Amino acid sequence: MKILLTGGTGYIGSHTAVELVAAGYDEIVIFDNLSNSKLDVVDKIAKIAGVTLEFVEGDILDKAELKKLFSDYKFDAVMHFAGLKAVGESVEKPLQYYETNVGGTVNLLEAMQAAGVRKIIFSSTAVVYGEHAKVPYRETEPSGQGITNPYGETKHVVEEILKDLAESEPGWQVAILRYFNPIGNHSSGLIGEDPNGIPNNLMPIVMKVARGEMEELLIFGDDYETPDGSGVRDFIHVVDLARGHVAALKHLHEGVQIYNLGIGEGRSVFEVIESYERLSGRELPKRVVARRPGDLAAYWAAADLAAEKLNWKTELVLDDAMRDTLAFLKG
């Protein structure tokens, strides 16, 4: 089975490539413009997986490049990771986010349609549930209302496009995967989250502070109505998340399926810090500041649908992710 991974040198794509190979899917082509990843990831995947994957440098905004890609290779399925993901930046540059995440996806779907490729797994997010959804978030909850940033809107719009497309034409097999908060990295420490520029997610910031590249971690609020006052999220190990893609591929069938990929329980910002400090033996410079605008207090996944339909569940916990993060920091 020949599989295209757009954005495959990125954080989640690279881990998924490793897990696909481990599951026997080794005919993989990565298509990435390297705007938020590095080419050496291809070698690192090869080191871990024992297979050198094909890499094509290109942009999903370039229709001609996509056309050539789909004529050069006969793909059976696409995993679509390419996109922009910084929530704060999306507030400042909404057009860029809509152009890449929505426009780029439309280009990809057009190229797929022209080439007769109708299997796609799409990287969506728990953000699409919006601020009014009941916790734990279930796939049956309405989505698209009360989304607090343009990034989340772009993901919701793409979900709607995929539903409309599958409705318009028989044969499409679509899995929409709503990720919760991926953390950690492969236990080799060779690949991991290494964003360009200033990160805004918790773990990359913890890593920057641990490396001394940032002075301190700012804890955005300790006055939430949560057990310890700090924000609560469903932190899923990226290797479990990657295995969720393999499971989704195996269970693709006609129509659109939507699955949460999360652990199914919430952990707090203070618990993440505690895990870092205990496992590293070092105190993390940190300070509590005001809540970050737009942040929700607490949410996590209802994880039973993916367990039932995909025969997938998470195996790794916060401490595993932290241990692997420490290995990545050393490497």
Q: Which active-site residues does the annotation give?
A: 151
Question: Considering only 70-78, 91-99, 130-138, 199-207, which stretch makes contact with ligand UDP by CB under 6 A?
Answer: 199-207
Question: Contact between 36 and ligand NAD (CB under 6 A)?
Answer: yes
**210 in contact with ligand UDP (CB under 6 A):** no
Question: Smallest distance from the beta carbon of 88 to ligand UDP, in angstroms?
Answer: 9
Side-chain half-sphere CA neighbours of 77 within 13 A: 23
Among 4, 21, 53, 60, binds ligand NAD (CB under 6 A): 60
DSSP annotation of 262 reads: S
Beta carbons of 324 and 187 less than 8 angstroms apart: yes
Alpha carbon distance 255, 240 (integer Å): 25
Restricting to residues 118-147, name those near ligand UDP by CB under 6 A. Answer: none
* Cβ atoms of 55 and 42 closer than 8 Å: yes
Helix axes 238-250, 11-22, angle to 10 degrees: 60
- In angstroms, what is the minimal distance from the CB of 110 to ligand NAD? 15
By CB under 6 A, the residues from 292 to 311 that bind ligand UDP are 292, 295
What CA–CA distances, in Å, run from 112 to 13, 66, 128, 170?
Answer: 19, 9, 25, 14
Bin 38: left if φ > 0, else alpha if -120 < ψ < 50, else beta. Answer: beta
Element (H, E) at 41: helix 40-49
Partner whose binding site includes residue 202, from ligand UDP, ligand NAD, none (CB under 5 to 8 Å by kind): ligand UDP
> Within a 10 A sphere around the Cβ of 225, how many other Cβ atoms?
7
Q: Mention every residue, 6+ apart, whose C-beta is less than 8 A from residue 302.
A: 136, 137, 138, 139, 260, 264
Nearest to 80 by CA among 5, 156, 154, 159: 5
Q: Which residue has the tokens 């999360």?
A: 262
Residues 216-235 within binding reach of ligand UDP (CB under 6 A): 217-220, 231, 233
- Which among 158, 152, 156 has a CA at the least distance from the CA of 107? 158
Q: Is the CA virtual torsion 31, 33, 36, 40 positive or negative? A: positive
Contact call for residue 78 and ligand UDP (CB under 6 A): no
Judged by CB under 6 A, the stretch of 8-16, 52-60, 213-221, 247-255 that binds ligand UDP is 213-221
32 binds, among ligand NAD, ligand UDP, none (CB under 5 to 8 A by kind): ligand NAD
By the rule CB under 6 A, 182 interacts with ligand NAD: yes
Segment interacting with ligand NAD (CB under 6 A) among 33-41, 207-215, 281-289, 304-312: 33-41
Q: Is 153 in the site for ligand NAD (CB under 6 A)?
A: no
Please report, as residue ranges, which positions from 286 to 315 form the binding site for ligand NAD (by CB under 6 A). none
For tokens 């549930």, the residue is: 129
Q: Does 286 bind ligand UDP (CB under 6 A)?
A: no
150 near ligand NAD (CB under 6 A): no
Q: Does the protein bind ligand NAD through residue 152 (CB under 6 A)?
A: no
Q: How far is the CB of 79 from ligand NAD (least distance, A)?
A: 10
Q: How far is the CB of 33 from ligand UDP (least distance, A)?
A: 24
Secondary structure letter of residue 129 according to DSSP = G
Task: List residues binding ligand NAD (CB under 6 A).
Answer: 7, 9-13, 32-37, 59-61, 81-85, 100, 104, 123, 125, 179, 182
